[in-house]
Amino acid sequence: GAGVSQTPSNKVTEKGKYVELRCDPISGHTALYWYRQSLGQGPEFLIYFQGTGAADDSGLPNDRFFAVRPEGSVSTLKIQRTERGDSAVYLCASSSYGEVISYNEQFFGPGTRLTVL
Amino acid sequence: AQSVSQHNHHVILSEAASLELGCNYSYGGTVNLFWYVQYPGQHLQLLLKYFSGDPLVKGIKGFEAEFIKSKFSFNLRKPSVQWSDTAEYFCALLTGGYNKLIFGAGTRLAVHP
């Protein structure tokens, strides 16, 4: 497809369970970002990948959160021992990254709405 | 500390009214600013961006924003809104070596016909 896609669109889980959220970036985009948007707030940065490596994971709230991008394309955000406070919309974005700053435009996916009961 | 604040959380206007949404930022580095829009049921889309040069930036759908360095502001404007502008608007600052967006809390705009 032409845009960033995320699956599932909705995920309901119980407290303490493990969840995986998937992001398919725009083809050819080397940079990938995860954000979390809680109700009534703007998106909050979680982690940034350049290729396969996590170049900046300073936004991950704690060690229950982990993300991978093993082949430099699809990324999975993993949350262990989910808590009710993890309920939010998880957004993925991708961008082409080059020398010219204007290429850093981030294109967002539709998000995964996670509800932890 | 790096931050973005949006003054108005909810704005209600009638069609043809003028719009100005406030955005202020706090950042000590090179300033790169964005306005994103999220229409009902859709994903975030870029409205306009400021990197350097002319502080008056024009975006899509008749929107513009003015970067005023002395006021640490990047307010969004549109001279005449339409019902289709009903959406949530987010101001964002690019930081962290150009790999991290810091968003404001957003402003929900409702335009009545």
> CA-to-CA distance for B46 and B82, rounded, in angstroms?
18
Closest-approach residue (CA) in chain A for B44: A108
Closest-approach residue (CA) in chain B for A46: B100
CB contact under 8 Å between A48 and B96, yes or no, is yes
Q: What's the half-sphere exposure (Cβ side, CA atoms, 13 Å) at B8?
A: 16
> CA-to-CA distance for B25 and A52, rounded, in angstroms?
32
CB contact under 8 Å between A56 and B100, yes or no, is yes
What does the angle CA B31 – CA B34 – CA B37 come to, to the nearest 5 degrees? 165
Q: Is the pLDDT of residue B97 over 90?
A: no
Instruction: Provide the pairing of β-strand A65-68 with A88-95.
Output: unpaired
Those residues of chain B whose CB sits closer than 8 Å to some CB in chain A are 4, 32, 36, 42-46, 49, 51, 90, 92, 94, 96-106
> CA-to-CA distance for B90 and B100, rounded, in angstroms?
15
**Cβ contacts (< 8 Å) between B33 and chain A: which residues?**
none
Q: How far is A39 from chain B (nearest CA, A)?
A: 10
Q: Does A42 touch chain B (CB under 8 A)?
A: yes
Burial of residue B62 (CB within 10 Å: 0-12, 13-18, 19+) is: middle
Specify the pLDDT at position A4: 96
Q: In chain A, which residues have pLDDT < 70?
A: 1, 98-103
Specify the pLDDT at position A2: 80
| DSSP 8-class letter at A72 | S
Q: Is the pLDDT of residue B10 over 60?
A: yes
Q: What is the pLDDT of residues B30-72, one digit of tens each?
A: 889 999 999 998 999 999 999 888 999 999 999 999 999 999 9
| Residue listed under structure tokens 């009903």 | B86
Structure tokens at A58: 């300073």
Q: What is the pLDDT of residues A42-53, one digit of tens each?
A: 999 999 999 899
The interface residues of chain A toward chain B in range 79-98, judged by CB-CB distance below 8 A, are 91, 93, 97
